[in-house]
């Protein structure tokens, strides 16, 4: 009597089972050997620096990775904190938490003092978005000349800037000492290796009476994070 077609002989069933096992094993080996290598980490931002400099002030440019999440502040100025000075004067924007009574140490200029006030304001703005000063990639700076002067105080602004940015030796990783006014160089207020691209220019006036410094920045969220 013929064997029903759906049963087959034990010998044929064994061959079929062995072939299936071999096919699965071959598929497993093929999958294991052809697994793709892990992708390299995505570039979020990369400062372009002039070769041979251990402590450049700014970057020549900043390259941003595809899909980088950006944050751009508005133009921010110093906070009016010095009640001892007349409202709307440059001196009224001295940070009295740093300079008691609004009295500036020897060599510290009003632009320098306002610059540090502005950069603290920038830091607070960034921190509210989960960012830090290290995430800053681009900075735009507008300076008005102080009363009695005929030119913006770029040197004072640069001293204020170094208190918050570009104060780490890129070769050794050591903190660079920076001056406050004419005092001997000392540890900066904020240790930060970031070198953003930057411009600074003199303007005829700023929107708030007494402001000598206004700054806006762009920052990039770290990989895996974004706006809150």
Give one DSSP letter per residue of 108-173, joined into a string. --HHHHHHHHHHHHHHHHHHTTT--GGGEEEEEEEE-PPTT-SS--HHHHHHHHHTTSS-B-TTT-
Residue 4 reports pLDDT greater than 70: no
Most confident region among 12-16, 34-38, 84-88 by mean pLDDT? 84-88
| 126 contacts 84 by C-beta, under 8 angstroms | no
| 44 contacts 220 by C-beta, under 8 angstroms | yes
pLDDT digits (tens, 9 = 90+) for 38-73: 555 567 899 999 999 999 999 999 999 988 999 999
pLDDT digits (tens, 9 = 90+) for 106-140: 999 999 999 999 999 999 999 999 999 999 999 99
The model's confidence at residue 35, banded by pLDDT at 50, 70 and 90, is low
Residue 195 reports pLDDT greater than 50: yes
pLDDT at residue number 10: 43
Counting every residue, how long is the chain? 228
- In three-state secondary structure terms, 38 is coil
């Amino acid at each position: 009597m013929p064997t029903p077609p759906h049963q087959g002989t034990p010998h044929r069933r064994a061959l079929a089972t062995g072939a299936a096992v071999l096919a699965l094993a071959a598929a497993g080996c093929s999958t294991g050997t052809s697994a793709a290598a892990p992708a390299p980490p995505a570039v979020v931002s990369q400062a372009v620096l002039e070769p041979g400099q251990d402590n450049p002030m700014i970057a020549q440019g900043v390259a941003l990775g595809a899909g980088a999440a950006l944050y751009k502040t508005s133009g921010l100025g110093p906070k009016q904190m010095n009640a001892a000075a007349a409202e709307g004067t440059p001196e009224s924007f001295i940070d009295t938490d740093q300079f008691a009574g609004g009295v500036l140490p020897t060599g510290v200029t009003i632009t320098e003092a306002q610059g540090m006030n502005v950069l603290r304001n920038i830091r607070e703005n960034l921190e509210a978005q989960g960012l830090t000063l290290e995430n800053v990639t681009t900075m735009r700076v507008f300076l008005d000349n102080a009363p009695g002067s005929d030119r913006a105080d770029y040197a004072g602004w640069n001293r204020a800037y170094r208190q918050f940015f570009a104060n780490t030796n890129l070769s050794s990783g050591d903190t660079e000492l920076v001056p406050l006014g004419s005092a001997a160089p000392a540890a900066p207020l904020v240790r930060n290796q970031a070198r953003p691209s930057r411009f600074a220019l003199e303007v005829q006036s700023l929107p708030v009476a007494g402001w000598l410094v206004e700054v806006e920045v762009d920052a990039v969220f770290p990989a895996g994070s974004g706006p809150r």
